[in-house]
Amino acid sequence: MNIILLGPPGAGKGTQAERLVADRGMVQLSTGDMLRAEKNAGTDLGNRIKAVMDAGELVSDEIVSSLIDENLARLDAGQGVIFDGYPRTAAQAGTLDGILARHDRKLDYVIELEVDEDALVERIVGRYTCAKCGAGYHDKFKQPKVAGTCDVCGSHDFKRRADDNEETVRTRMAEYRAKTEPIIPIYDARGILRRVDGMADIEDVSVAIAAILDGK
């Protein structure tokens, strides 16, 4: 089973990918992670990547293709793959088909975690954590039982991430739309695009994804 998981930052894509890795032994091939790993490994390819990144340039499609090729070659035939952050253009989608075919694989599903932008903004902007133990809270959905006191450790210090603000979230959403717009119609036409309500509870999203993968 080989899938592409799509969803804007904050849609819970990382959590769902982690579960697929843990529950089904799938391997997540994230473009960003692969680039960093190769660069740190100091291989010839890694050094080329480092040179491109240090120059502030975008890594070429050819390099990303080589990385995916190499990573697929390391896997057992039975291990499923979750692609994350690739493809982002129609040309890359075609390239991915070719790479998968070389490894006797094919893309089974493209799963998009759909979000309501306003609700996502509300969900992200309102969240904060205990500065001491990391317990998660939310202005609207999960206030501490005693105002200003952490339920778990009793601390009175809380913190918010600087990028959890409306402007950043909306910018990330716009970037996501721009990156996925070229590829969604390709997979939709092929009949392998599936949409899941990313605003549902984490558990419900997992169940919906499992139903797709199990062909239910």
> Which chain residues interact with Zn ion by CB under 5 A?
130, 132-133, 135, 150, 152-153, 155
Cα–Cα distance, 47 to 101 (Å, whole number): 28
Kindly report each contact of residues 200-203 with a partner whose C-beta sits within 8 Å and lies 24 or more positions away, as own/partner.
202/12, 202/15, 202/16
| Alpha-carbon span 153 to 134, nearest angstrom | 10
Closest CB to Zn ion among residues 47, 143: 143
Smaller CB separation from Zn ion, 41 or 153: 153
Q: Where in the sequence numbering do the catalytic residues fall?
A: 13, 88, 127, 161, 172
Question: What is the spatial distance between Cα 123 and Cα 125, in angstroms, rounded to a whole number?
Answer: 6
Min dist CB 152 to Zn ion, Å, is 4
Q: How far is the CB of 133 from Zn ion (least distance, A)?
A: 3
As measured in angstroms, the least distance from the Cβ of 46 to Zn ion is: 40
d(Cα 216, Cα 205) in Å, to the nearest integer? 15
* Cβ at position 149, least distance to Zn ion in Å: 9
Nearer to Zn ion, 45 or 135 (CB): 135
Nearer to Zn ion, 142 or 177 (CB): 142
